[in-house]
Amino acid sequence: MKTLNYKNRTFLYEIIANDCGDYGTFICYETIFYDATPITKTRKKWLLFGSVIKYTVYNKLFRLYCNIEDPGKSKKSIHELLDKQIELLNRIDEINNGNLI
């Protein structure tokens, strides 16, 4: 995963390429953004037995259906997409704090 700092927020992101179109003739990209704070979890090494191992996961925040590293995308269009998603994240925080209106 790569790091992106945007408007005083730190995100981790990864770009995934998928086949799309008829018979997989095209490649579609999506960029998945994660919260930068890691969450450490534990589990058994094998399903029910074995030693306990720790692993790190990150919370998914949002996804953009484009490749943000594509040179064909303008910086302005990427900023607009990110601003919209950050606005929605801020709204979720407001709702959790009790500010409905």
Residue 74 is predicted with a pLDDT of 94
Q: List, as one string, the DSSP characters of 4-28.
A: EEETTEEEEEEEEEEEESGGG-EEE
Residue 12 is predicted with a pLDDT of 97
Q: Which ranges of the chain have pLDDT less than 50?
A: none
Residue showing tokens 């969450």: 39
Q: What is the pTM of this model?
A: 0.86
Residue 1 is predicted with a pLDDT of 92
- H/E stretch holding 32: strand 26-35
| Residue 23, amino acid | Y
For residue 76, what are the contacts with CB-CB under 8 A and spacing of at least 6?
Answer: none
Residue 9 is predicted with a pLDDT of 92
For residue 30, what are the contacts with CB-CB under 8 A and spacing of at least 6?
Answer: 15, 16, 18, 63, 64, 65, 66
CB atoms within 10 A of CB 11: 22
Q: List, as one string, the DSSP characters of 44-65.
A: ESSSSSS-EEEEEE--EEEEES
Residue 47 is predicted with a pLDDT of 85
